[in-house]
C-alpha cells in the first residue's frame, strides 16, 4: 500500500486460537490496528490461512480491511469499509467506494465483548431536550426547528441517550452517549478534541442558535452537532424496533446484556474538514466503532440535511447485516429507502415525496 510505518508496537495481546492482537496506529492509521489469524476461502482456489487486519488511513476517509497470506505476506484482497456519497450528484455521478464487510471466514472467531447486564426495575431517563429539525422534517427547506423532550424509545434506549452504564444518572451532559458520540471535526483528525455540544449547566437542554447559511464566521457548530446527535439516535431507536438490535450487530457502547459485541457507538463527525460536498460512513465489524463524516457544501451544512444523515447510517446497517459489493450494490437503494421512510409526512404517497434521493 506504500505506507510509511513508524514505531510499530503491539499494544494488546488477546491470544486464543486465532492469535488475535492489536497494534498501535504506527503513523498510518487513525485507529489502533487489530489483527487476527483466519481461514479464508476463495472459490476455485481453496482455503488460505490469512491475517486479517484493518487500517483507517490518516490521509483519507478510507478504512481498509486486508486479508494477507500468512505464509507469504502478500495481500490477497482488501475491501473498503467506507462508503462515500456525493450529496450533490445524481445517480450516475455518485462516487462510492466498494465497501463490504469481510468475506465470510471459516475458523475461529473472537469472542464478543462481555456487556453489562440491564439493571432491573422501572426507570425513566432524566429530562433531555434538543432543538432540532425533528422527525419527519427532512431539512431546513421543509420545516422549522422545534424543541423536543425525551424523544428516545425506551425499548431501544432504556436509559436514555446519554447513558453508558445502565443506571439512573447520565454519564454525559454533552452530545455523547450509548449510541453515538457527535462532535465537530473541522480539523479532520478524526478525534473529538472536546468539540462536543455541551448543555449549559449540565441540564441536558441542547438549545442553540442556528444560522442555516454556513460561513467561516458563523458555523453554528453546537446547533449542527445537536441535530446530528438527535438524528443518529433516532435512526438507532427506529431500526432497533425492526430488528437491528444488539444481537444483530447494531451500534452501542453498552449492549445491556442483550448479545452482540458492544463497544461500538457511532463516531459522528460534524462539519468534517477532510472534504466538501460529500458524506460517508465506515463500518468495521461488530465491536469496533463505525465513523460517519458529514461535510459542508459551499454554504450548506450536511449536518442539517436529515435525508443524508439517514442515508449514511443506512450504509452502516446494510454493511453489518450483509455482504455487499460492486459499484451499484443494493445498499444504495436500501439507504434511500431508510431516508424516505423516516421523513414521510401525512399525505405523502407515490411521487409526492419531496427531497433529495441519493443514488
Other beta carbons within 10 angstroms of residue 40's beta carbon come to: 24
Bridge partners of 4, per DSSP, are none
Please say whether the dihedral angle defined by the alpha carbons of residues 266, 269, 275 and 278, taken in this order, is positive or negative.
positive
C-alpha cell at 250: 447494531
What is the Cα–Cα distance from 58 to 68, expressed in whole angstroms?
21
What is the Cα–Cα distance from 355 to 312, expressed in whole angstroms?
16
Task: Write the burial class of residue 146 (CB in 10 Å: 0-12 exposed, 13-18 middle, 19+ buried).
Answer: exposed
Residues whose CB is less than 8 angstroms from the CB of residue 8 and which lie 6 or more positions away in sequence, other chains included: 23, 24, 26
Task: Look at residues 333, 342, 319 and name the one whose alpha carbon lies nearest to residue 82.
Answer: 319
Parallel, antiparallel, or unpaired: how do β-strands 205-206 and 129-132 relate?
parallel
Is omega for the bond preceding 58 within 30 degrees of 0, making it cis? no
Q: Looking at 152, 221, 312, 332, which residue is catalytic?
A: 312
What is the Cα–Cα distance from 195 to 64, expressed in whole angstroms?
27
Does 111 participate in catalysis according to the annotation?
A: no
What is the Cα–Cα distance from 63 to 65, expressed in whole angstroms?
7
What is the Cα–Cα distance from 259 to 135, expressed in whole angstroms?
29
Contact assessment for residue 115 and residue 164, using Cβ atoms and an 8 Å cutoff: no
What is the Cα–Cα distance from 78 to 88, expressed in whole angstroms?
28
Question: 142: which DSSP letter?
Answer: G
Residues with a catalytic annotation lie at 312
Amino acid at each position: 500500500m506504500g505506507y510509511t510505518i513508524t514505531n510499530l508496537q503491539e499494544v494488546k495481546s488477546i491470544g486464543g486460537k486465532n492469535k488475535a492482537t492489536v497494534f498501535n496506529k504506527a503513523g498510518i492509521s487513525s485507529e489502533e490496528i487489530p489483527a487476527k489469524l483466519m481461514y479464508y476461502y476463495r472459490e476455485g482456489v481453496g482455503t488460505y490461512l490469512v491475517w486479517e487486519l484493518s487500517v483507517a488511513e490518516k490521509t483519507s476517509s478510507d478504512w481498509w480491511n486486508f486479508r494477507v497470506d500468512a505464509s507469504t505476506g502478500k495481500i490477497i484482497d482488501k475491501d473498503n469499509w467506507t462508503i462515500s456519497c456525493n450529496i450533490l450528484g445524481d445517480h450516475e455521478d455518485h462516487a462510492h467506494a466498494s465497501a463490504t464487510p469481510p468475506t465470510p471466514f471459516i475458523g475461529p472467531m473472537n469472542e464478543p465483548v462481555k456487556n453489562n447486564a440491564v439493571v432491573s426495575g422501572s426507570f425513566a431517563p432524566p429530562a433531555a431536550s434538543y432543538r432540532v429539525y425533528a422527525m419527519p422534517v427532512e431539512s431546513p427547506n421543509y420545516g422549522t426547528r422545534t424543541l423536543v423532550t425525551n424523544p428516545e424509545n425506551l425499548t431501544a434506549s432504556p436509559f436514555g441517550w446519554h447513558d453508558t452504564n445502565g443506571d439512573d444518572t447520565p454519564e454525559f451532559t454533552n452530545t455523547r452517549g450509548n449510541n453515538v458520540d457527535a462532535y465537530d471535526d473541522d480539523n479532520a483528525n478524526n478525534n473529538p478534541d472536546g468539540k462536543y455540544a455541551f448543555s449549559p449547566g449540565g441540564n441536558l437542554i441542547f438549545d442553540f442558535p442556528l444560522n442555516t447559511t454556513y460561513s467561516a464566521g458563523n458555523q453554528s457548530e453546537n446547533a449542527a452537532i445537536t441535530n446530528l446527535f438527535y438524528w443518529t439516535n433516532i435512526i438507532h431507536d427506529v431500526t432497533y424496533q425492526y430488528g437491528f438490535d444488539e444481537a444483530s450487530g447494531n451500534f452501542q457502547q453498552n449492549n445491556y446484556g442483550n448479545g452482540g459485541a458492544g463497544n461500538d457507538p457511532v463516531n459522528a463527525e460534524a462539519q468534517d474538514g477532510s472534504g466538501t460536498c460529500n458524506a460517508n460512513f465506515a463500518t468495521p465489524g461488530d465491536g469496533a466503532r463505525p465513523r460517519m463524516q458529514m461535510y459542508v457544501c459551499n454554504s450548506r451544512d450536511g449536518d442539517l440535511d436529515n435525508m443524508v444523515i439517514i442515508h449514511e447510517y443506512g450504509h452502516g446497517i446494510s454493511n453489518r447485516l450483509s455482504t455487499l459489493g460492486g459499484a451499484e450494490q443494493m445498499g444504495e437503494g436500501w439507504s434511500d429507502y431508510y431516508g424516505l421512510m423516516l421523513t414521510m409526512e401525512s399525505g405523502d404517497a407515490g411521487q409526492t415525496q419531496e427531497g433529495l434521493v441519493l443514488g
